[in-house]
Amino acid sequence: MKLFVDTWGWLVLADRKDPSHEETVRCYEAYSKASSRVLTSNFVLDETFTLLFRRRPFDEALRFATAVLKSPSIGVEVVTEERFRAAFDLRRKFSDKPRISFTDLSSMAIMSELKLTDILTGDRHFSQVGLGFRALPTK
């Protein structure tokens, strides 16, 4: 099985002081070894890098971001026009959940398209939308 990594996942992996860091690292490593491929998206990385460089010292943020971009085991899915429209369709479908970000909707569109279920995230709405996603690490 493949693992999709959300912004939350990348930020926790980058921050050794985060209370969820150890558990998240274990989960990430288990999936990356088992599947040899972890997926994310250009929208997720945009959001991640924006927050990472805002929250962490520059050299630390640069090291982490560079490692993510250079890793052969991390695939970056592109939010194409078709995927963007699928995310917009999800925005309409989940009109009762206005707090879901468009980045998360685009991740849901990609995951649905690729038939992925497991996502490294702290965002509960991935489990609440009824699309069969499983948020990891489980609490």
User: Which among 44, 34, 14 has a CA at the least distance from the CA of 108?
Assistant: 44
Query: What pLDDT is attached to residue 33?
Result: 78
Cβ atoms of 15 and 131 within 8 Å: the answer is no
How would DSSP label each residue in 63-99?
HHHHHHHH-TTEEEE---HHHHHHHHHHHHHTTT-TT
Query: What pLDDT is attached to residue 36?
Result: 61
Going by their DSSP bridges, the two strands 118-120 and 3-5 should be labelled as: parallel
Query: What pLDDT is attached to residue 93?
Result: 97
**Whole domain around residue 77: which residue ranges?**
3-136
Residue-wise pLDDT for 34-44, tens only, equals 666 799 999 99
Q: Per-residue b/e over 13-51, b at no fewer than 16 CB within 10 Å?
A: bbbeeeebeeebeebbeebbeeeeebbbbebbbebbbeb
User: Which among 20, 120, 7, 14 has a CA at the least distance from the CA of 62?
Assistant: 14
CATH value at residue 24: 3.40.50.1010
Query: What pLDDT is attached to residue 139?
Result: 62
How many domains does the chain contain in total? 1
Query: What pLDDT is attached to residue 120?
Result: 97
Query: What pLDDT is attached to residue 116?
Result: 96
Give the percent of the chain with pLDDT over 90.
Answer: 89
Low-confidence ranges of the chain (pLDDT < 50): none
Query: What pLDDT is attached to residue 31?
Result: 86
